[in-house]
Chain A
Amino acid sequence: MEEIKITTEVTAERIRKYLEKEKRFDGRKINEFREITIEKNISNQAEGSVRVKIGKTEVLVGIKMGIAQPYPDSPNKGNLMVTAELLPLSSSRIEPGPPRFNSIEVGRIIDRGIRESKFIELEKLCIKEKEKVWTVFIDVYTINDDGNILDAAGIGAVAALQLTKIPKYDEENEKILYGEHEKSIPLKKINPFTITVHKIDGHLILDPTREEEDVSEARMTVGSSEGIIYSLQKGNSGYFSVEEIQESFNIVEKAWKELFKKVEKQLK
């Protein structure tokens, strides 16, 4: 079914007017996330996997581990590779015409959040220095896009890693025994969620719906844990003033605390 693909200017005007009163269409406050649910182990073939729903937005994140040669500049550290697929399943906008994000950007933003925070203790994933290390693959798939795929993917990556167990490795026969696990993947005790602040008409909001994302002029994705910022990326063609950036950091720090509580509860 065809849809008038971009949120109409008429509705966009309404979104902005409502924001002037610090209100949103679905009754949320400007810094409030929609309901978040996390379903654990959605694929029994993955080393760790989750389904994350934020409102109607749904993503799947799965972790697979393989063995490869280490990079020459880190001969005793495991490898990390993050990819994201924005599936045509998830939105009528994926094809044809340009989507709001491209898969590469989502992959790289999530990668930075996980890598720079050193969330995964990659030095502990070395099997034989210079020859064999574990590679951690984080793969994100979108199932329904109702805005804020980025944050859903970020939460998913952190949650899936917290469920990940390393498969047994039969060194003699050089075979990975998938399905048999010994220990959990070594992780630092942090929760590097990526939280994206969007600017609409001078207002800073969190967790936009698809309509709100269409009207967003600029966005800033911050990967952080307990007030320490590990990664940051500004996107879209608008701008942030220095005050807005400071305010964004405050917003993110507060939101992180809320998110941490919610995610912890779901993963119990």
Chain B
Amino acid sequence: MIEKNKRSVVIPGETIVEGDNYLPGEGTEKQDKKIVALRYGLAEETNKLVKVIPLSGVYQPRRGNIIIGKVSLLTFNGWVIDIGTAENGFLPLMETPRFVSKDRLDEFMKIGDIVVAQIFGINGRGIDLTLKSRGLGKIDEGIVFKINSNKVPRVIGKEGSMIKIIKENTNCNITVGQNGFIWIKGDRIEDELFAKKAILFIVEKSFLEGLTEKVEEWFKKNELVEEETKSAVKIQKKNVKEEKDDN
């Protein structure tokens, strides 16, 4: 049983609340008068709607989602893209930002390329993708890694607040795919790894309250170390340059 407006961990089959006027939300089922959890996660009740926020599990694709995937196949009219779901994504020729001739598919993107795309339709045949929006396209360099897709909302934060903090503190461009893949691109590799570290920290502490403050604290603590490394590298570079000049 959970307290009102509080969160508590539940396991499958566990009764979350009992009572006539509760409604079963996502991850739950009504059995007689009980709302029972169908997932392992955090149970939450607001205005009599009871749902379970999953802490793990597969990504459920939704229209409008930005995702990051890998080109797995070229067909006569587009690219098949593996986005980590049972059905592959498909990017039709018509959905590229500029004209691509159907004889030149592999010049635009070849098998193994990683791409940021948006889901514009989900139907029986699969997941339709588009690149016709800002920020979408093939990934050229940086680091790409995966987190649990359930933690993506925390990494992004309310209206992007969390991701903004990370970008500001690390000087990196960060794209978070709803399917859990994250692309970080910065001027220096150290910055990229710093941003990755920050994101993994958020993933670890994702269910804590007041996460924003904790993250800001984390940055203050870790920034000092990064600054020292930066100056150490600067001195090193200076020494190397002096050596070179001497020679």
Chains A and B come from one and the same complex: yes
Interface residues of A (CB under 8 A from B): 1-4, 8-11, 13-14, 17-18, 21, 23, 25
Taking CB atoms, residues of chain B closer than 8 Å to A3 are 84, 146
In the complex, whether B39 has a CB less than 8 A from a CB of chain A is no
Q: How far is the CB of A147 from chain B (nearest CB, A)?
A: 15
Contact (A11, B145) CB under 8 Å given A4-B70, A4-B181: yes
In Å, the complex CA distance between A197 and B107 comes to 37
In the complex, whether B144 has a CB less than 8 A from a CB of chain A is yes
B189 touches A14 (CB 8 A): yes
Of A2, A10, A23, A25, the residue contacting B114 (CB under 8 A) is A10
B144 touches A11 (CB 8 A): yes
Interface residues of B (CB under 8 A from A): 57-59, 69-70, 82, 84-85, 112-114, 139-146, 181, 183, 189, 192-193
Contact (A14, B70) CB under 8 Å given A1-B84, A3-B146: no
A2 touches B141 (CB 8 A): no
Given contact pairs A2-B84, A23-B189, enumerate 5 new A-B contacts (beta carbons under 8 Å).
A3-B146, A13-B141, A14-B141, A14-B142, A17-B189
B144 touches A10 (CB 8 A): yes
A2 touches B144 (CB 8 A): no
A8 touches B193 (CB 8 A): no
Contact (A1, B141) CB under 8 Å given A10-B114, A17-B189: no
Taking CB atoms, residues of chain B closer than 8 Å to A21 are 189
In Å, the complex CA distance between A112 and B59 comes to 45
Taking CB atoms, residues of chain B closer than 8 Å to A25 are 193
Q: How far is the CB of B78 from chain A (nearest CB, A)?
A: 19
B82 touches A2 (CB 8 A): yes
Nearest residue in A to B189 (C-beta to C-beta)? A18
Taking CB atoms, residues of chain A closer than 8 Å to B142 are 10, 14
A8 touches B189 (CB 8 A): no
6 contacts between A and B (CB under 8 A): A1-B58, A2-B82, A10-B139, A10-B143, A14-B141, A14-B143
In Å, the complex CA distance between A224 and B182 comes to 42
Nearest residue in B to A4 (C-beta to C-beta)? B70
The 8 closest A-B CB pairs, nearest first, are A2-B84, A4-B70, A8-B144, A14-B143, A11-B143, A10-B144, A8-B114, A18-B189
Taking CB atoms, residues of chain B closer than 8 Å to A17 are 189
Q: How far is the CB of A210 from chain B (nearest CB, A)?
A: 12
